[in-house]
Amino acid sequence: MKAFVITKYKGPLQEADVPEPTVGDRDVLVRVNAAGVNQLDEKIRTSEFAQILRYRLPLTLGHDVAGTVIRVGRSVRGFKPGDEVYARAAKDQIGTFAERVAVAKTDLALAPTTIGAVEAASLPLVALTAWQALVERGNVQQGQKVLIHAGAGGVGSIAIQLAKHLGATVATTASAANADFVRDLGADIIIDYRTQEFEQLLSGYDLVLDSLGGANLEKSLRILKPGGKAIGISGPPDPDFAREAGLNPVLRLAITALSRKIRGQARKLGVSYQFLFMRASGDQLRQIAGLVDEGMLRPVVGKVFEFNETPQALQALAGGGIRGKAVITGTR
């Protein structure tokens, strides 16, 4: 089948003929109708996560899929050929930049019924990230204050909506050109990151969702109230992540060192820092689909590419400036 692969880290994404996916007893074979493009795909291509996510090359990229079930493994219940589904493929089953992909039944959900495949494919990774940050880890409650950085981006555009649905007052950073866009998503307070310093304007926040890292993360700690929490999706990874990922002792020590500074700063301020590397979850996608069908969440697709334009889609995402998500339509 046709797929887009990398044959070496930092090399180009290129079309190739690859073997059909292996479908285990608990897997579902899905015809790819659309695939979302994520920063994670580019980070894997450039080897940024090579020490954490070990893959054998050549590697088919792609984490998000919306498609049609072709067949199911012997132990699969709840899905049948013809079902319209969506998923974030788990780390050992990535490869949605292809004609077909096998996905574990536990990572799969029926797609929302009120949207099409392109919009559904835009959701899994970013919606799961927002859910796991705000609901699972942040336990955001009515009346709390949440800052979401990069509100016009893939994660930010969904996280704003979810935080608002949970009853929070939502602040976000965005360019002036995107102010009306993020306001329409539900943002109450908009900080123009080019002309304003958010840490001078905000205080007493319960949660920050940071997708930028570095100095931006350090500044974010200062706007939290005592006991507040900063959740970073760009890093640095923390010891809890290293332990949960089952990394070897050497890597655990290295990761502990990487995050020592930010964790120390957080402790001094009476707040906490956690790194989030989202995981696949069909159960959570079912809940997200319900919110979409109820009109509580709406996908944000900034640009659509044809299957043969997959390398250009990844390049466009790396260049920035796309509102919401870039999505690749199905194979030719």
Triad 223, 227, 229: Cα angle to 5°: 60
Neighbours of 220 (CB within 10 A): 30
Share of the chain above pLDDT 70, in %: 99
Q: Where are the domains of the chain?
A: 2-123+299-329, 125-275
Phi/psi for 29 (5° steps) reads -90, 125
The per-residue pLDDT for 12 is 95
331, pLDDT greater than 70 = no
The residue count of the chain comes to 332
Distance CA 321, CA 221 (A): 26
- pLDDT, tens only, 243-281: 887 778 888 888 888 899 999 999 999 999 999 999 999
pLDDT of residue 268: 97
pLDDT greater than 60 at residue 41: yes
Q: Which of 332, 325, 330 is nearest to 30 (CA)?
A: 330
Q: How far is CA 176 from CA 170, 212, 255, 303, 330, in A?
A: 17, 18, 36, 20, 34
- Whether residue 309 is predicted with pLDDT greater than 60 in this model: the reply is yes
How sure is the predictor about 140, in pLDDT bands with cuts at 50, 70 and 90?
very high
Class of domain 2-123+299-329: alpha beta
pLDDT tens for residues 176-234?
A: 999 999 999 999 999 999 999 999 999 999 999 999 999 999 999 999 999 999 999 98
Q: How far apart are CA 153 and CA 11, in angstroms?
A: 25
Region 282-288 average pLDDT: 98
Residue 289 makes CB contacts below 8 A (sequence gap 6+) with 86, 109, 110, 111, 112
Other Cβ atoms closer than 10 A to 126 = 27
Q: Are 64 and 118 in contact (CB under 8 A)?
A: no
DSSP H helices in 68-177: 117-121, 124-131, 154-165
Instruction: Determine the average pLDDT of the residues in 83-87.
Output: 98
DSSP 114-132: TS-HHHHHTSHHHHHHHHI
Q: Are 307 and 128 in contact (CB under 8 A)?
A: no
Q: 127 CB contacts (<8 Å, ≥6 apart)?
A: 158, 162, 285, 288, 297
CA dist 124 and 130 (Å) reads 10
* pLDDT per position as a tens digit, 316-326: 987 777 899 99
Fold of the domain built from segment(s) 125-275:
Rossmann fold (3.40.50)
Asked if pLDDT for residue 332 goes beyond 60, the answer is: no
pLDDT score, position 184:
98
Q: Taking Cα atoms as reference points, which of 192, 190, 143, 151 lies closest to residue 169?
A: 143
* pLDDT (0 to 100) of residue 53: 81
